[in-house]
Chain A
Protein backbone atom coordinates (compact mmCIF):
# COMPACT_ATOMS: atom_id res chain seq x y z
CA UNK A 1 0.00 0.00 0.00
CA UNK A 2 1.48 3.29 -1.04
CA UNK A 3 0.41 6.67 0.19
CA UNK A 4 1.07 10.00 -1.44
CA UNK A 5 4.76 10.66 -1.53
CA UNK A 6 5.71 14.29 -1.45
CA UNK A 7 9.46 14.55 -1.00
CA UNK A 8 12.70 13.30 -2.40
CA UNK A 9 15.87 13.68 -0.38
CA UNK A 10 19.05 15.13 -1.79
CA UNK A 11 22.25 14.10 -0.08
CA UNK A 12 25.12 16.56 -0.44
CA UNK A 13 28.37 14.69 0.07
CA UNK A 14 30.60 17.71 0.41
CA UNK A 15 28.95 19.85 3.04
CA UNK A 16 30.30 17.79 5.95
CA UNK A 17 26.86 17.20 7.51
CA UNK A 18 26.10 13.55 8.22
CA UNK A 19 23.66 12.05 5.71
CA UNK A 20 21.09 11.18 8.38
CA UNK A 21 21.12 14.77 9.63
CA UNK A 22 20.55 15.99 6.10
CA UNK A 23 17.45 13.80 5.90
CA UNK A 24 16.22 15.13 9.26
CA UNK A 25 16.85 18.73 8.19
CA UNK A 26 15.25 18.32 4.78
CA UNK A 27 12.17 16.69 6.29
CA UNK A 28 11.81 19.49 8.84
CA UNK A 29 12.29 22.09 6.13
CA UNK A 30 9.55 20.42 4.09
CA UNK A 31 7.32 20.41 7.18
CA UNK A 32 7.95 24.11 7.78
CA UNK A 33 7.25 25.03 4.19
CA UNK A 34 4.12 22.90 4.05
CA UNK A 35 5.55 20.63 1.34
CA UNK A 36 4.87 17.79 3.74
CA UNK A 37 1.59 17.72 5.64
CA UNK A 38 0.14 15.24 8.14
CA UNK A 39 -0.69 11.90 6.56
CA UNK A 40 2.01 12.10 3.86
CA UNK A 41 4.23 9.07 3.54
CA UNK A 42 7.98 9.53 3.59
CA UNK A 43 10.03 7.49 1.12
CA UNK A 44 11.03 4.05 2.41
CA UNK A 45 14.64 3.30 3.31
CA UNK A 46 14.77 1.13 0.21
CA UNK A 47 13.61 3.98 -2.02
CA UNK A 48 16.11 6.40 -0.49
CA UNK A 49 18.89 3.80 -0.78
CA UNK A 50 18.11 3.29 -4.43
CA UNK A 51 17.83 6.97 -5.30
CA UNK A 52 20.70 8.37 -3.22
CA UNK A 53 23.00 5.32 -2.86
CA UNK A 54 23.10 5.61 0.92
CA UNK A 55 22.94 2.93 3.57
CA UNK A 56 19.33 2.06 4.52
CA UNK A 57 20.26 2.33 8.20
CA UNK A 58 20.98 6.02 7.63
CA UNK A 59 17.35 6.59 6.68
CA UNK A 60 16.08 4.50 9.60
CA UNK A 61 18.25 6.54 11.94
CA UNK A 62 16.86 9.80 10.58
CA UNK A 63 13.26 8.54 10.81
CA UNK A 64 13.78 7.35 14.38
CA UNK A 65 15.00 10.81 15.32
CA UNK A 66 11.97 12.40 13.65
CA UNK A 67 9.76 9.91 15.44
CA UNK A 68 11.31 10.77 18.81
CA UNK A 69 10.48 14.38 18.14
CA UNK A 70 6.89 13.37 17.43
CA UNK A 71 6.96 14.56 13.84
CA UNK A 72 6.43 11.22 12.11
CA UNK A 73 5.20 7.77 13.02
CA UNK A 74 6.36 4.38 11.85
CA UNK A 75 3.42 2.16 10.97
CA UNK A 76 4.58 -1.42 10.76
CA UNK A 77 4.37 -2.78 7.24
CA UNK A 78 3.02 0.47 5.82
CA UNK A 79 5.81 3.01 6.09
CA UNK A 80 6.63 6.24 7.83
CA UNK A 81 3.97 8.94 7.95
CA UNK A 82 3.92 12.60 8.90
CA UNK A 83 2.13 13.22 12.18
CA UNK A 84 2.29 16.94 12.51
CA UNK A 85 3.31 19.96 10.55
CA UNK A 86 5.94 22.50 11.49
CA UNK A 87 4.34 25.30 9.53
CA UNK A 88 3.83 28.19 11.97
CA UNK A 89 1.29 30.91 11.26
CA UNK A 90 3.27 33.14 13.66
CA UNK A 91 6.19 33.04 11.22
CA UNK A 92 4.21 33.54 8.02
CA UNK A 93 4.86 36.24 5.44
CA UNK A 94 2.29 38.67 6.90
CA UNK A 95 2.91 37.92 10.58
CA UNK A 96 3.63 40.54 13.23
CA UNK A 97 6.93 38.90 14.19
CA UNK A 98 8.20 39.09 10.66
CA UNK A 99 7.15 42.71 10.38
CA UNK A 100 9.06 43.58 13.53
CA UNK A 101 12.17 41.77 12.29
CA UNK A 102 11.99 43.60 8.97
CA UNK A 103 11.76 46.91 10.82
CA UNK A 104 14.73 46.01 13.03
CA UNK A 105 16.83 44.98 10.04
CA UNK A 106 16.06 48.20 8.20
CA UNK A 107 17.31 50.13 11.24
CA UNK A 108 20.47 47.97 11.39
CA UNK A 109 21.15 48.78 7.76
CA UNK A 110 20.62 52.49 8.32
CA UNK A 111 23.06 52.28 11.22
CA UNK A 112 25.68 51.10 8.73
CA UNK A 113 25.86 47.40 9.57
CA UNK A 114 26.97 45.11 6.73
CA UNK A 115 25.21 41.87 5.86
CA UNK A 116 27.85 39.80 7.73
CA UNK A 117 27.57 42.05 10.81
CA UNK A 118 23.82 41.49 10.90
CA UNK A 119 24.15 37.71 10.47
CA UNK A 120 26.71 37.56 13.26
CA UNK A 121 24.48 39.63 15.54
CA UNK A 122 21.41 37.52 14.77
CA UNK A 123 23.39 34.30 15.25
CA UNK A 124 24.71 35.50 18.58
CA UNK A 125 21.26 36.47 19.93
CA UNK A 126 19.81 33.27 18.53
CA UNK A 127 22.48 31.27 20.33
CA UNK A 128 21.71 33.03 23.59
CA UNK A 129 17.94 32.75 23.38
CA UNK A 130 17.78 29.20 22.11
CA UNK A 131 20.86 27.75 23.78
CA UNK A 132 18.89 25.26 25.90
CA UNK A 133 16.75 24.10 22.99
CA UNK A 134 19.82 23.40 20.88
CA UNK A 135 20.95 20.48 23.03
CA UNK A 136 19.54 17.71 20.90
CA UNK A 137 19.73 14.21 22.34
CA UNK A 138 22.71 12.23 21.15
CA UNK A 139 21.67 9.67 18.61
CA UNK A 140 23.33 6.40 19.22
CA UNK A 141 21.40 3.80 17.42
CA UNK A 142 22.65 1.03 15.23
CA UNK A 143 20.21 -1.79 15.52
CA UNK A 144 20.13 -4.13 12.56
CA UNK A 145 17.75 -3.05 9.87
CA UNK A 146 14.17 -3.99 10.34
CA UNK A 147 12.77 -5.34 7.15
CA UNK A 148 9.23 -4.30 7.78
CA UNK A 149 8.92 -1.68 5.08
Chain B
Protein backbone atom coordinates (compact mmCIF):
# COMPACT_ATOMS: atom_id res chain seq x y z
CA UNK B 1 0.00 0.00 0.00
CA UNK B 2 2.09 2.87 -1.23
CA UNK B 3 0.00 6.00 -1.14
CA UNK B 4 2.98 8.31 -1.24
CA UNK B 5 3.73 7.58 -4.90
CA UNK B 6 7.27 7.40 -6.24
CA UNK B 7 9.96 8.60 -3.83
CA UNK B 8 10.72 11.68 -5.93
CA UNK B 9 7.22 13.04 -5.60
CA UNK B 10 6.94 16.42 -3.92
CA UNK B 11 4.18 17.20 -1.47
CA UNK B 12 4.91 20.92 -1.80
CA UNK B 13 6.99 22.81 -4.32
CA UNK B 14 7.47 26.56 -3.93
CA UNK B 15 8.87 28.67 -6.74
CA UNK B 16 10.00 32.12 -5.64
CA UNK B 17 6.97 32.57 -3.44
CA UNK B 18 6.49 36.02 -1.91
CA UNK B 19 3.61 37.50 0.03
CA UNK B 20 3.08 41.16 0.82
CA UNK B 21 0.55 42.52 3.27
CA UNK B 22 -0.20 46.19 3.71
CA UNK B 23 2.42 46.42 6.45
CA UNK B 24 5.15 44.93 4.25
CA UNK B 25 6.62 41.67 3.01
CA UNK B 26 5.68 38.62 5.08
CA UNK B 27 7.61 36.21 2.89
CA UNK B 28 10.15 36.83 0.14
CA UNK B 29 11.40 34.63 -2.65
CA UNK B 30 10.96 31.24 -1.00
CA UNK B 31 11.92 28.30 -3.20
CA UNK B 32 12.00 24.78 -1.83
CA UNK B 33 10.44 21.37 -2.10
CA UNK B 34 9.07 19.12 0.61
CA UNK B 35 9.31 15.49 -0.54
CA UNK B 36 6.19 13.41 0.01
CA UNK B 37 6.09 11.19 3.08
CA UNK B 38 8.22 13.43 5.27
CA UNK B 39 7.42 14.86 8.66
CA UNK B 40 8.63 18.40 8.40
CA UNK B 41 9.11 21.01 11.12
CA UNK B 42 8.54 24.64 10.17
CA UNK B 43 10.62 26.81 12.47
CA UNK B 44 11.07 30.54 12.82
CA UNK B 45 10.48 33.46 15.16
CA UNK B 46 7.00 34.95 15.57
CA UNK B 47 6.01 36.92 12.50
CA UNK B 48 8.53 35.13 10.28
CA UNK B 49 5.89 34.02 7.77
CA UNK B 50 5.21 30.43 8.89
CA UNK B 51 1.43 30.76 8.97
CA UNK B 52 1.48 32.69 5.69
CA UNK B 53 3.40 29.90 3.99
CA UNK B 54 1.01 27.18 5.18
CA UNK B 55 -2.07 29.27 4.41
CA UNK B 56 -0.85 29.67 0.81
CA UNK B 57 -0.32 25.91 0.43
CA UNK B 58 -3.82 25.40 1.89
CA UNK B 59 -5.31 27.86 -0.63
CA UNK B 60 -6.42 30.31 2.06
CA UNK B 61 -4.08 33.01 0.73
CA UNK B 62 -2.69 33.79 -2.68
CA UNK B 63 1.00 34.56 -3.15
CA UNK B 64 1.84 38.10 -4.31
CA UNK B 65 4.58 36.67 -6.52
CA UNK B 66 5.71 33.18 -7.42
CA UNK B 67 3.71 29.98 -7.25
CA UNK B 68 3.18 26.84 -5.20
CA UNK B 69 2.27 23.32 -6.11
CA UNK B 70 0.71 20.71 -3.87
CA UNK B 71 1.34 17.19 -5.17
CA UNK B 72 2.02 18.79 -8.53
CA UNK B 73 -1.32 20.62 -8.67
CA UNK B 74 -2.21 24.26 -8.03
CA UNK B 75 -3.37 24.82 -4.42
CA UNK B 76 -6.76 26.09 -5.70
CA UNK B 77 -7.42 22.88 -7.66
CA UNK B 78 -10.00 20.38 -6.42
CA UNK B 79 -7.30 17.71 -6.47
CA UNK B 80 -5.01 19.63 -4.09
CA UNK B 81 -7.93 20.61 -1.87
CA UNK B 82 -9.05 17.02 -1.47
CA UNK B 83 -5.58 15.83 -0.50
CA UNK B 84 -4.76 18.62 1.95
CA UNK B 85 -5.88 19.42 5.49
CA UNK B 86 -4.85 22.51 7.42
CA UNK B 87 -5.26 22.84 11.16
CA UNK B 88 -5.03 26.56 11.83
CA UNK B 89 -3.72 27.89 15.11
CA UNK B 90 -7.06 29.42 16.12
CA UNK B 91 -8.82 26.06 15.40
CA UNK B 92 -11.84 27.55 13.63
CA UNK B 93 -14.96 25.52 14.42
CA UNK B 94 -18.65 26.43 14.58
CA UNK B 95 -19.29 27.23 18.24
CA UNK B 96 -23.00 26.33 18.09
CA UNK B 97 -22.43 22.91 16.54
CA UNK B 98 -22.15 19.88 18.75
CA UNK B 99 -19.11 17.64 18.47
CA UNK B 100 -21.20 15.04 16.62
CA UNK B 101 -22.50 17.67 14.20
CA UNK B 102 -18.98 18.91 13.59
CA UNK B 103 -17.85 15.42 12.65
CA UNK B 104 -20.94 14.97 10.47
CA UNK B 105 -19.99 18.15 8.63
CA UNK B 106 -16.56 16.66 8.06
CA UNK B 107 -18.14 13.48 6.74
CA UNK B 108 -20.39 15.33 4.30
CA UNK B 109 -17.70 17.63 3.00
CA UNK B 110 -15.00 15.00 2.53
CA UNK B 111 -15.46 11.99 0.24
CA UNK B 112 -12.66 9.97 1.87
CA UNK B 113 -13.89 10.62 5.43
CA UNK B 114 -12.86 8.16 8.14
CA UNK B 115 -15.49 8.41 10.85
CA UNK B 116 -13.84 5.77 13.03
CA UNK B 117 -10.50 7.59 13.14
CA UNK B 118 -12.18 10.91 13.94
CA UNK B 119 -14.40 9.42 16.63
CA UNK B 120 -11.59 7.52 18.32
CA UNK B 121 -9.58 10.74 18.71
CA UNK B 122 -12.57 12.50 20.27
CA UNK B 123 -13.40 9.53 22.52
CA UNK B 124 -9.80 9.19 23.76
CA UNK B 125 -10.23 12.63 25.32
CA UNK B 126 -13.64 11.90 26.88
CA UNK B 127 -15.18 14.76 24.93
CA UNK B 128 -18.97 14.26 24.97
CA UNK B 129 -20.38 13.92 21.45
CA UNK B 130 -23.49 16.00 22.24
CA UNK B 131 -21.56 18.93 23.79
CA UNK B 132 -21.56 22.22 21.90
CA UNK B 133 -18.15 23.36 20.65
CA UNK B 134 -18.58 26.69 22.44
CA UNK B 135 -18.73 24.94 25.83
CA UNK B 136 -15.50 22.95 25.39
CA UNK B 137 -12.14 23.83 26.92
CA UNK B 138 -9.33 25.03 24.67
CA UNK B 139 -7.64 21.65 24.77
CA UNK B 140 -10.89 19.81 23.96
CA UNK B 141 -11.53 22.12 21.01
CA UNK B 142 -8.04 21.40 19.74
CA UNK B 143 -8.82 17.71 20.00
CA UNK B 144 -11.99 18.07 17.93
CA UNK B 145 -10.10 20.14 15.35
CA UNK B 146 -7.47 17.38 15.23
CA UNK B 147 -10.20 14.79 14.72
CA UNK B 148 -11.63 16.84 11.86
CA UNK B 149 -8.22 17.12 10.18
CA UNK B 150 -7.47 13.40 10.68
CA UNK B 151 -10.88 12.22 9.58
CA UNK B 152 -10.25 13.78 6.19
CA UNK B 153 -7.40 11.30 5.69
CA UNK B 154 -5.28 13.90 3.92
CA UNK B 155 -2.04 13.14 2.08
CA UNK B 156 -0.65 16.46 3.31
CA UNK B 157 -1.51 17.53 6.82
CA UNK B 158 -0.46 21.03 7.83
CA UNK B 159 -0.61 22.03 11.48
CA UNK B 160 0.05 25.54 12.77
CA UNK B 161 1.38 25.41 16.33
CA UNK B 162 -0.80 22.37 16.96
CA UNK B 163 0.31 21.64 20.49
CA UNK B 164 0.50 25.07 22.08
CA UNK B 165 -2.65 24.82 24.21
CA UNK B 166 -2.41 21.15 25.18
CA UNK B 167 -1.18 19.66 28.44
CA UNK B 168 1.91 17.40 28.19
CA UNK B 169 -0.06 14.17 28.40
CA UNK B 170 -2.49 15.09 25.63
CA UNK B 171 0.36 16.49 23.55
CA UNK B 172 2.19 13.18 23.79
CA UNK B 173 -0.96 11.24 22.93
CA UNK B 174 -1.95 13.35 19.92
CA UNK B 175 1.62 13.48 18.62
CA UNK B 176 1.69 9.68 18.91
CA UNK B 177 -1.61 9.44 17.01
CA UNK B 178 -0.28 11.79 14.34
CA UNK B 179 2.96 9.87 13.88
CA UNK B 180 1.23 6.49 13.87
CA UNK B 181 -1.14 7.70 11.16
CA UNK B 182 1.82 9.02 9.20
CA UNK B 183 3.59 5.67 9.56
CA UNK B 184 0.54 3.78 8.38
CA UNK B 185 -0.47 5.97 5.45
CA UNK B 186 2.73 7.76 4.47
CA UNK B 187 1.06 11.11 5.18
CA UNK B 188 3.26 14.16 4.66
CA UNK B 189 3.15 16.40 7.71
CA UNK B 190 4.16 20.06 7.84
CA UNK B 191 4.00 21.47 11.33
CA UNK B 192 5.10 24.79 12.74
CA UNK B 193 6.41 24.75 16.26
CA UNK B 194 8.45 26.67 18.79
CA UNK B 195 9.20 23.48 20.74
CA UNK B 196 12.68 22.98 19.36
CA UNK B 197 13.55 20.15 21.73
CA UNK B 198 10.57 18.08 20.59
CA UNK B 199 11.16 18.60 16.89
CA UNK B 200 14.24 16.37 16.86
CA UNK B 201 12.20 13.31 17.84
CA UNK B 202 9.31 14.06 15.59
CA UNK B 203 10.67 15.56 12.38
CA UNK B 204 12.90 14.14 9.65
CA UNK B 205 12.78 17.28 7.51
CA UNK B 206 13.07 20.97 8.33
CA UNK B 207 12.18 24.37 6.95
CA UNK B 208 13.56 27.35 8.82
CA UNK B 209 12.38 30.84 7.94
CA UNK B 210 13.16 34.19 9.50
CA UNK B 211 12.51 37.77 8.48
CA UNK B 212 10.53 36.46 5.53
CA UNK B 213 13.36 34.46 3.97
CA UNK B 214 14.14 30.76 3.87
CA UNK B 215 17.19 30.11 6.06
CA UNK B 216 17.45 26.35 5.92
CA UNK B 217 15.66 23.45 4.26
CA UNK B 218 16.43 19.77 4.08
CA UNK B 219 16.66 16.36 5.66
CA UNK B 220 17.41 16.58 9.39
CA UNK B 221 20.29 14.07 9.29
CA UNK B 222 21.85 15.82 6.30
CA UNK B 223 21.56 19.20 7.99
CA UNK B 224 23.09 17.93 11.23
CA UNK B 225 25.99 16.18 9.52
CA UNK B 226 26.75 19.32 7.47
CA UNK B 227 27.54 21.21 10.68
CA UNK B 228 30.15 21.08 13.42
CA UNK B 229 30.07 22.58 16.84
CA UNK B 230 33.59 23.68 17.87
CA UNK B 231 34.89 24.52 21.30
CA UNK B 232 38.27 25.95 22.12
CA UNK B 233 40.23 28.71 23.76
CA UNK B 234 39.74 32.31 22.66
CA UNK B 235 43.11 33.62 21.44
CA UNK B 236 42.33 37.22 22.22
CA UNK B 237 40.18 37.15 25.34
CA UNK B 238 38.35 40.38 26.03
CA UNK B 239 36.48 41.32 29.18
CA UNK B 240 33.63 38.88 29.76
CA UNK B 241 31.13 38.34 26.99
CA UNK B 242 31.94 39.99 23.70
CA UNK B 243 28.77 40.55 21.68
CA UNK B 244 30.49 40.42 18.28
CA UNK B 245 33.92 38.83 18.54
CA UNK B 246 36.10 38.62 15.47
CA UNK B 247 36.16 35.18 13.87
CA UNK B 248 39.66 33.67 14.18
CA UNK B 249 41.69 33.30 10.97
CA UNK B 250 41.82 29.49 11.13
CA UNK B 251 38.02 29.34 10.76
CA UNK B 252 37.88 31.72 7.82
CA UNK B 253 37.87 28.94 5.21
CA UNK B 254 34.71 27.43 6.70
CA UNK B 255 31.21 28.85 6.68
CA UNK B 256 30.82 30.28 10.15
CA UNK B 257 27.21 30.45 11.27
CA UNK B 258 27.89 31.73 14.75
CA UNK B 259 31.02 32.55 16.74
CA UNK B 260 30.82 33.35 20.41
CA UNK B 261 33.30 33.95 23.19
CA UNK B 262 32.84 33.95 26.92
CA UNK B 263 35.86 34.68 29.06
CA UNK B 264 38.62 32.51 27.60
CA UNK B 265 36.23 30.09 25.99
CA UNK B 266 35.27 30.27 22.35
CA UNK B 267 32.61 28.29 20.54
CA UNK B 268 31.56 28.23 16.93
CA UNK B 269 28.95 26.59 14.79
CA UNK B 270 30.36 26.05 11.32
CA UNK B 271 29.69 24.26 8.07
CA UNK B 272 33.15 22.79 7.58
CA UNK B 273 34.96 23.08 4.29
CA UNK B 274 37.94 20.76 4.72
CA UNK B 275 39.68 19.72 7.95
CA UNK B 276 39.40 21.79 11.12
CA UNK B 277 42.48 22.83 13.09
CA UNK B 278 43.42 20.60 16.08
CA UNK B 279 42.97 23.36 18.58
CA UNK B 280 39.21 22.91 18.34
CA UNK B 281 37.20 20.14 19.92
CA UNK B 282 34.45 19.25 17.51
CA UNK B 283 31.01 17.76 18.13
CA UNK B 284 27.95 17.11 16.04
CA UNK B 285 25.40 19.68 17.20
CA UNK B 286 21.99 18.74 18.53
CA UNK B 287 19.11 19.97 16.44
CA UNK B 288 18.09 22.44 19.12
CA UNK B 289 21.58 23.99 19.35
CA UNK B 290 21.76 24.28 15.60
CA UNK B 291 18.34 25.90 15.28
CA UNK B 292 19.08 28.36 18.06
CA UNK B 293 22.29 29.42 16.31
CA UNK B 294 20.47 30.01 13.04
CA UNK B 295 17.67 31.90 14.77
CA UNK B 296 20.20 34.09 16.64
CA UNK B 297 22.12 34.82 13.45
CA UNK B 298 19.60 35.66 10.70
CA UNK B 299 22.42 36.89 8.45
CA UNK B 300 24.18 33.51 8.33
CA UNK B 301 24.29 32.02 4.82
CA UNK B 302 21.23 29.91 4.04
CA UNK B 303 21.48 26.14 3.63
CA UNK B 304 19.13 24.43 1.20
CA UNK B 305 20.10 20.78 0.88
CA UNK B 306 19.90 19.19 -2.61
CA UNK B 307 16.80 17.18 -1.70
CA UNK B 308 14.97 20.39 -0.80
CA UNK B 309 15.75 22.32 -3.98
CA UNK B 310 13.37 22.91 -6.86
CA UNK B 311 14.83 22.96 -10.36
CA UNK B 312 15.51 26.27 -12.09
CA UNK B 313 15.66 28.38 -8.94
CA UNK B 314 18.53 30.12 -7.23
CA UNK B 315 18.81 28.75 -3.71
CA UNK B 316 20.64 30.02 -0.69
CA UNK B 317 23.56 27.64 -1.10
CA UNK B 318 24.07 28.68 -4.72
CA UNK B 319 23.85 32.36 -3.86
CA UNK B 320 26.56 31.78 -1.33
CA UNK B 321 28.85 30.05 -3.84
CA UNK B 322 28.35 32.82 -6.40
Is B2 an interface residue, CB under 8 A from the partner?
yes
A46-B183, A55-B39, A56-B182 given as contacts; is B202 within 8 A of A142 (CB)?
no
Size of interface on A: residues with Cβ below 8 Å to B: 25
**B204 and A147 form a contact (CB under 8 A):** no
| Residues of B171-207 whose CB lies within 8 A of A | 172, 175-177, 179-180, 182-186, 197, 200-204
Chain A residues lying within 8 Å of B36, measured Cβ to Cβ, are 144
A49-B176, A52-B176, A56-B179 given as contacts; is B201 within 8 A of A145 (CB)?
no
Chain B residues lying within 8 Å of A51, measured Cβ to Cβ, are 176
A19-B201, A58-B201 given as contacts; is B186 within 8 A of A145 (CB)?
yes
**B204 and A55 form a contact (CB under 8 A):** yes
Chain A residues lying within 8 Å of B219, measured Cβ to Cβ, are 142
**A147 and B186 form a contact (CB under 8 A):** yes
Is A54 an interface residue, CB under 8 A from the partner?
yes
Nearest chain B CB to A24 CB, angstrom units: 15
Is A111 an interface residue, CB under 8 A from the partner?
no
Chain B residues lying within 8 Å of A11, measured Cβ to Cβ, are 201
Nearest chain A CB to B62 CB, angstrom units: 30
| Residues of A120-149 whose CB lies within 8 A of B | 140, 142-145, 147, 149
Nearest chain A CB to B119 CB, angstrom units: 17
Chain B residues lying within 8 Å of A58, measured Cβ to Cβ, are 201, 204
**A144 and B186 form a contact (CB under 8 A):** yes
**B35 and A144 form a contact (CB under 8 A):** yes
The chain B residue sitting closest to A49, CB to CB, is B179
Is B3 an interface residue, CB under 8 A from the partner?
yes
Is B16 an interface residue, CB under 8 A from the partner?
no
Out of A49, A55, A147, which one reaches B1, CB within 8 Å?
Answer: A147
Once bound together, how far apart are the Cα atoms of A147 and B7, in whole Å?
Answer: 12
Is B221 an interface residue, CB under 8 A from the partner?
yes
Nearest chain B CB to A61 CB, angstrom units: 9
Q: Which of A19, A50, A55, A147 has the most CB of B within 10 A?
A: A55
The chain A residue sitting closest to B36, CB to CB, is A144
| Residues of A32-54 whose CB lies within 8 A of B | 44-47, 49-54
A53-B201, A55-B203, A58-B201 given as contacts; is B39 within 8 A of A147 (CB)?
no
Chain A residues lying within 8 Å of B141, measured Cβ to Cβ, are none
Q: Which of A19, A52, A56 has the most CB of B within 10 A?
A: A56
A50-B176, A50-B180, A142-B219 given as contacts; is B197 within 8 A of A13 (CB)?
yes
Is A112 an interface residue, CB under 8 A from the partner?
no
Out of A13, A53, A143, which one reaches B179, CB within 8 Å?
Answer: A53
Q: Which of A49, A56, A143 has the most CB of B within 10 A?
A: A49
Is B37 an interface residue, CB under 8 A from the partner?
yes
Out of A16, A54, A144, which one reaches B201, CB within 8 Å?
Answer: A54
Nearest chain A CB to B240 CB, angstrom units: 28
Once bound together, how far apart are the Cα atoms of A145 and B7, in whole Å?
Answer: 9
* Chain B 1-16 per-residue mask, 1 if CB under 8 angstroms from chain A, else 0: 1111001000000000
Is B254 an interface residue, CB under 8 A from the partner?
no
Once bound together, how far apart are the Cα atoms of A50 and B181, in whole Å?
Answer: 9
Chain B residues lying within 8 Å of A55, measured Cβ to Cβ, are 39, 179, 201-204
Out of B3, B38, B184, which one reaches A46, CB within 8 Å?
Answer: B184
Once bound together, how far apart are the Cα atoms of A140 and B220, in whole Å?
Answer: 11
Chain B residues lying within 8 Å of A57, measured Cβ to Cβ, are 39, 204
Chain B residues lying within 8 Å of A52, measured Cβ to Cβ, are 176, 201
Once bound together, how far apart are the Cα atoms of A144 and B186, in whole Å?
Answer: 9
List 19 interface pairs A-B (beta carbons < 8 Å), by A numbering. A16-B286, A49-B176, A49-B180, A49-B183, A50-B179, A53-B175, A54-B179, A54-B201, A55-B204, A56-B179, A57-B39, A140-B221, A144-B38, A144-B186, A145-B4, A147-B1, A147-B183, A147-B184, A149-B183
Q: Which 3 A-B pairs have the closest CB atoms?
A: A56-B183, A49-B179, A50-B180
Inter-chain pairs besides A53-B175, A55-B179, A144-B35, 17 sampled, C-beta below 8 Å: A13-B201, A16-B286, A45-B183, A46-B184, A49-B179, A49-B180, A50-B177, A53-B202, A56-B180, A56-B182, A57-B204, A58-B201, A140-B221, A142-B219, A142-B222, A144-B186, A147-B186
